[in-house]
Amino acid sequence: MTNTPLYSVCPLTMPDTSFEEDLDLVLASGASGIGIAEGKLRPGEDEAQLARLKTSGLKVAGGIPANLAPLPLRPPVMYPGPDDPSVRIGLMRESVERLAAFKPACIVMTTGSDAGYSKDESWSIAAEGIRDAARLAADLGTRIAVEVVRGDLGFDASFIRTLSEAGQFIDLVDEPNVGLCYDVYHVWDSPDVLHFTEQLAGRTYLVQVCDWPDPPRSLADRRIPGEGVIDLPAIFGALQRGGYAGWYELEIFSDDGRWGHDFPDSLWKLRPAELLERSQEGFDRLWQKRSR
């Protein structure tokens, strides 16, 4: 276990900047890692963007594919795509192959919505799709991190809603390079959170960090660490006690009108450098307070 956490920034935190601008901003912020969002890769420029990444010296924490779920997301406000799981799985393979070149610690995926399927059908389809993606990822030297996504904010991106279910689903997939993407926003108030956090820490590949306003005004209303109600020090402590020593990646969505809610205090209205500075400071303060 380490007293100096690996800290990264997901580029979705900065929706209006380019890949190259993200590298400069994250380097200036003092973070040692960055996420790679496929949506910020320009067609035909992967080699040039990969070269720019290597020059920066930043390590890649999470990869965010454009095609990240075997089943559709409902409504498709993010990551739209076809309804047919077999087509979606083919697209997932393409995303894995593209992102793997950037050497991420893991590639994040969800199950998608189970709307229109029985539990057995949805779990089988999703497990088969993620298993297929994981085998390709293993061949390419990376891993798949399955994200729990809460379902109470009008966005159905996964039928895996709790850490307990996540453990069961990872067992069902049964591939050695499939683990958990632990997004505090989605799991902080799930049942027995600290118990399951510690229990699953050794199977966690990425921790996504932000804070929760009370109450949230939409599905895109996250806060800077320390400016909400999540007991992040307790979660950090449980992760460390369980043996987690991977990346903590800042991921903030804060609607400025593009998703239907123009919040006057949207964090996306800040200068990106200010957002990253405040977030790093908040994270560092909370890390020092973590429970042992």
Q: Could you tell me the CA-to-CA distances from 76 to 40, 160, 274 in Å, in that order?
A: 19, 17, 30
SS3 116: coil
Using CA atoms, how far apart are residues 10 and 248, in angstroms rounded to an integer?
A: 10
Mean per-residue pLDDT for 186-213?
97
Mean per-residue pLDDT for 131-160?
96
Q: What is the mean pLDDT of the chain?
A: 96
Tell me: pLDDT of 210 over 70. yes
**Contact predicate 14/39, CB 8 Å:** no
Provide the b/e sequence for 68-89 (b: ≥16 CB within 10 Å): bbbbbbbeeeebebeeebeebb
Q: Which pLDDT band, with edges at 50, 70 and 90, does 76 fall under?
A: confident
What is the value of pTM for the model shown? Answer: 0.97
Mean per-residue pLDDT for 61-80?
93
SS3 9: strand
SS3 63: strand
**Contact predicate 109/130, CB 8 Å:** yes
Mean per-residue pLDDT for 185-203?
97
Q: What is the pLDDT of residue 1?
A: 41
Q: Estimate the crossing angle of helix 272-288 against helix 232-241, to 10 degrees.
A: 60
SS3 62: strand
Q: What are the backbone dihedrals phi and psi of residue 116, each rounded to the nearest 5 degrees, phi first? A: 90, 0
Query: CB 63: neighbour CB atoms within 10 A?
Result: 30
Q: What is the pLDDT of residue 10?
A: 98
SS3 120: helix
Longest dimension (CA), the chain: 48
Tell me: pLDDT of 2 over 60. no
**Contact predicate 192/184, CB 8 Å:** no
The answer for 42, left when phi > 0, alpha when psi is -120 to 50, beta otherwise, is: beta
Q: What is the pLDDT of residue 79?
A: 86
Using CA atoms, how far apart are residues 28 and 277, in angstroms rounded to an integer?
A: 9
Give residue-wise pLDDT tens across range 222-243.
999 999 999 999 999 999 999 9
